Chain A
Amino acid sequence: MTMKTIAIIGAGPAGMEASGSLARLGYHVVLIEKEATVGGHLKNLFQLFPDRRPGKEILTHLVQTIKHPGIQIKVNSEVSEVQKLDNSFALKINEETMNADAVLVTTGFDLYDATEKEEYGYGIYPNVITSADLEQMFHNGKVVTEEGKTPKRVAFIHCVGSRDEKAGNNYCSKVCCVTAVKQAIEIKELLPETEVFCYYMDIRMFGPYYEELYREAQEKWGVMFIRGKLSEASQNMDGSILMKAEDTLAGKPLRMNTDLMVLMAGMVPSASSKKVAQQFKMEEGQNRFFKSADNHYRYNESQQMGVFIAGACVAPMNITDTIANARAAAVKIDEYLKN
């Protein structure tokens, strides 16, 4: 019997984990990544919730997994053409053509483009940043304002571009509440004198130890939680940001100045997922993420025979779920190819 080949598109946590699992099951895996390095969004994460372990640890672990003779890694590569054959797909990658008996799509997500919410001032006022920008600051070990000062106050804005009909995204991005809490604590650790606020509509702590993290932020770090959605922000002469929201629990409008405002930009289906969807004629769900053949039972199968899906391209999810999801997909692919 010849060895079957599986093409995996996107080398984020989902793609990497699935590669390892499938290679260990004895398949030949071609892992295709459009960027120069593997790791997806995980590359940019300094510490992970809920246990604050370094993102690097998981990344190293995943990199170990894909160091397997059965895995061929193609970075800086994208599928340019797809041809559906009887029981397989002919894929064109970098002018070479390969044959894949099954395809796993793990193209992940993009961060919501916060400049679209012009009233929040991202891209206009330098002291308005996103959680990803803040993560970068943590990497650099230094959180400062545009003017190079230590912020006396930092405000996190939940649900930016998620749960927002105006942004066209009605869904909840799931990980940003807990990310905000995690980042709030990181700020407090780094800058104990700094006041930290979270502006939320609802706090969604869906995973194990997340609620505990929330409590820790209140109890140990004195992070303040204000229930209200930011309506608009403007810049003061000194570069600080004037925020407007309603403190809905007090029932009064609230104004607050802050030195740094962090937008918890949500997850949106990645632009390149859209391209892949067209190439493989896959369906999108109402939320524009890939549509599963069945929401409970065939979660990792797309509507297209032989094409599987896993990770954050299916729905917003954290790394734990992404990895579990990737393994589940590997099992499904194995079953499919053995039939």
Chain B
Amino acid sequence: MWGFNITKTRAIDFDKNNREPMMEILRLEPSIRVCIACGACTATCTSGNLTPFNIRQLNVFMQRGEYQELKKEMHKCMLCGKCTLVCPRGVNLRHLILKTREVLLNEEPLFAQN
């Protein structure tokens, strides 16, 4: 049918987005709260070196309740730990990625609407 395609809005709709998974991820690994978005993690990232995979940006999306990208991309991480080693704020990114996967994989039905 024409005319009824649902086009996703381009803005981040913070009110409508489902923030439950994000709250759960932040509960399991709160250290991402102190991220200052310096990008050192993305710059050093072993996977990001080989493919467009931006761990910093994905984590921003996650904290805004946007998971589409994250779900597609999160398995590209090799958990090598370089990001965690260079982070000036001591964010435990490796654990964060693990917990993100855990939450988004295991509890998917729960958070179905996003």
Contacts and interface: CB of A to CB of B under 8 A. Distances in A.
Interface string B80-99: 00000111111000000000
A164 interface: yes
Given A251-B54, A253-B48, A253-B49, A245 B40 contact: yes
Interface stretch (B11-19, B20-28, B31-39, B103-111): B31-39
A166 interface: yes
B42 interface: yes
A114 to B, nearest CB: 14
A93 B48 CA distance: 58
Provide the main secondary structure of the chain B interface.
loop
Interface string A247-267: 110011110000000000000
Contact of A245 (B43, B85, B87): B43
A229 B40 contact: yes
B80 to A, nearest CB: 13
Given A166-B88, A246-B39, A232 B44 contact: yes
Given A253-B48, A253-B49, A245 B90 contact: no
A228 interface: yes
A247 B49 CA distance: 14
Most buried by B among A164, A227, A229: A229
Nearest to B39: A246
B90 A254 contact: no
A166 B87 contact: yes
B54 A231 contact: no
Given A230-B40, A230-B43, A246-B56, A165 B89 contact: yes
A228 B57 CA distance: 13
A247 B37 CA distance: 10
Contacts of A252: 52, 54
Interface string A41-62: 0000000000000000000000
Nearest to B49: A253
A337 interface: no
Interface residues of B, number: 22
Contacts of A254: 43
Contacts of B88: 159, 163-167, 201, 229
Given A248-B56, A251-B57, A229 B90 contact: no
A253 B36 CA distance: 16
Contacts of A163: 36, 88
A35 interface: no
A157 to B, nearest CB: 11
A244 interface: yes
A164 B89 CA distance: 6
A202 interface: yes
A116 interface: no
Contacts of B48: 253
Most buried by B among A167, A202, A231, A245: A231
Nearest to A228: B39
Contact of A166 (B36, B39, B90): B90
Nearest to A159: B88
A201 B36 contact: yes
Contacts of B89: 165
Contacts of A119: 86
Contacts of A228: 38-40, 43
B86 A244 contact: no
Contact of A201 (B38, B42, B45, B56): B38
Interface string A202-228: 100000000000000000000000011
Given A248-B38, A248-B56, 4 more contacts: A159-B88, A201-B38, A246-B43, A248-B37
Interface of B: 36-45, 48-49, 52, 54, 56-57, 85-90
25 contacts: A119-B86, A165-B87, A165-B90, A166-B86, A166-B88, A166-B90, A202-B36, A227-B39, A229-B43, A229-B88, A231-B40, A231-B41, A231-B44, A231-B86, A232-B43, A244-B44, A246-B39, A246-B40, A246-B42, A246-B43, A246-B56, A248-B56, A251-B57, A252-B52, A253-B45
